[in-house]
């Protein structure tokens, strides 16, 4: 009964004994991941600086304190951990609560921030960065606290990690997609990143997502919007033409295409385009009516010689 009870405490570690993730090596370690010893209660900024620096961002934990550290809580919330990298042109991706997914990311060269409870008697939340593992010896390697290489047994690591709901995240350059990314969750992560990231980074992230999932409407529209925002109207048109070919009845694609054509001064093309969905009902119906009215008003102004 004792063995069964212990197994129940670390179910994912037990599962790895017979179900090791396919394609993942038994041993790997990223020795070049930087290390920033944490100040008191500031494991969040230290962990973020670790993976942001590894992804190519020149930053220190001190530069991140004002962005993520909450003095009243003496720590950092997960939502702030995910938000901060986006402002630096990186994609933040929350992993599924899976030991296997964490191992896949590390094996792919992506350090993983994990949330642990490292308290002996009372809860003590802590962010650490997984940089490697060795299955034969059952060891996880972490950048943690004031230790550049903390070695923890697989089972002990799970006991610390499970209390935080197996929460973990990776940060990637905008043109790199996480190893365990799924289409819907990754595109959602890119959309969230684009709200605060520099335009060039958002373009790169959307382009990478669209290259991986060419039928994804959100990625196509997002990329076109970023091109449009930077004044690259013709690139926006090209992206939306391809999306229209793949999704000929999509009201959002056609509406946005008509808008970009309008902004190029191609009013007749814009009108022909928007007419394809003018009778559509649904959440974009008001946008379509507004776009069509704008185009028709401009064409009327042209006919009468009035200036817009």
Q: What is the pLDDT of residues 165-183, one digit of tens each?
A: 999 999 999 999 999 999 9
End residue of a domain, out of 122, 141, 172: 172
Question: Quick one: pLDDT at residue 4?
Answer: 45
In this structure, are 20 and 143 located in the same domain?
Answer: yes
Question: Quick one: pLDDT at residue 307?
Answer: 62
Kindly give the residue spans of alpha helices, DSSP state H, lying in the chain.
2-9, 11-16, 43-54, 61-68, 78-87, 99-107, 154-162, 183-194, 199-212, 217-229, 233-246, 251-263, 267-274, 285-304
Question: Quick one: pLDDT at residue 271?
Answer: 96
Question: Quick one: pLDDT at residue 252?
Answer: 96
End residue of a domain, out of 172, 197, 213: 172
228 domain residue, yes or no: yes
Question: Quick one: pLDDT at residue 139?
Answer: 98
Low-confidence ranges of the chain (pLDDT < 50): 1-6
CATH number at 52 reads: 3.90.70.10
End residue of a domain, out of 138, 172, 206: 172
In this structure, are 52 and 164 located in the same domain?
Answer: yes
Q: Containing domain of residue 38, as a range? A: 2-172
In this structure, are 10 and 115 located in the same domain?
Answer: yes
In this structure, are 42 and 164 located in the same domain?
Answer: yes
Question: Quick one: pLDDT at residue 205?
Answer: 98
Classified as helix, coil or strand, 84 is helix
In this structure, are 15 and 164 located in the same domain?
Answer: yes
Total domain count for the chain? 2
In this structure, are 227 and 155 located in the same domain?
Answer: no
Question: Quick one: pLDDT at residue 217?
Answer: 98
66 domain residue, yes or no: yes
35 domain residue, yes or no: yes
112 domain residue, yes or no: yes
On whether the pTM is more than 0.85, the answer is yes
105 domain residue, yes or no: yes
In this structure, are 218 and 167 located in the same domain?
Answer: no
CATH number at 220 reads: 1.25.40.10
177 domain residue, yes or no: no
Question: Quick one: pLDDT at residue 306?
Answer: 65
pLDDT tens figures, 101-132: 999 999 999 999 999 999 888 888 999 999 99
Q: What is the DSSP string of 273-307?
A: HHGGGTT--STTHHHHHHHHHHHHHHHHHHHHT--
18 domain residue, yes or no: yes
In this structure, are 110 and 215 located in the same domain?
Answer: no
88 domain residue, yes or no: yes
């Amino acid at each position: 009964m004792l063995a069964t009870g212990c197994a129940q405490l670390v179910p994912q570690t037990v599962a790895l004994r017979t179900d090791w993730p396919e394609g993942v090596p038994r041993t790997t370690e990223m020795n070049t991941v930087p290390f920033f010893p944490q100040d008191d209660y500031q494991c969040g900024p230290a962990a973020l600086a670790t993976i942001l620096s590894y992804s190519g961002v020149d930053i220190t934990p001190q530069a991140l304190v004002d962005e993520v550290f909450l003095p009243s809580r003496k720590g950092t919330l997960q939502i702030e951990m995910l938000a901060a990298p986006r402002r630096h042109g990186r994609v933040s991706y929350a992993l599924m609560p899976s030991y296997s997914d964490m191992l896949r990311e590390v094996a792919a060269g992506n350090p993983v921030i994990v949330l642990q409870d490292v308290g002996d008697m009372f809860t003590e939340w802590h962010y650490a960065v997984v940089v490697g593992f060795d299955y034969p010896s059952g060891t996880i390697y972490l950048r943690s606290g004031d230790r550049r290489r903390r070695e923890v047994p697989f089972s002990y690591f799970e006991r610390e990690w499970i209390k935080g709901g197996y929460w973990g995240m990776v940060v990637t350059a905008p043109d790199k997609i996480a190893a365990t990314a799924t289409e819907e969750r990754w595109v959602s992560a890119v959309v969230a990143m684009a709200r605060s990231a520099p335009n060039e980074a958002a373009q790169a992230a959307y382009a990478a997502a669209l290259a991986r999932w060419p039928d994804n409407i959100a990625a196509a529209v997002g990329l076109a919007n970023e091109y449009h925002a930077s004044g690259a109207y013709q690139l926006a048109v090209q992206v939306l033409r391809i999306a229209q070919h793949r999704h000929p009845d999509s009201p959002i694609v056609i509406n946005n295409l008509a808008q970009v054509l309008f902004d190029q001064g191609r009013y007749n093309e814009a009108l022909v385009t928007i007419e394809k969905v003018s009778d559509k009902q649904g959440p974009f119906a008001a946008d379509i009516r507004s776009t069509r009215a704008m185009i028709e008003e401009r064409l009327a102004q042209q006919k009468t010689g009035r200036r817009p």
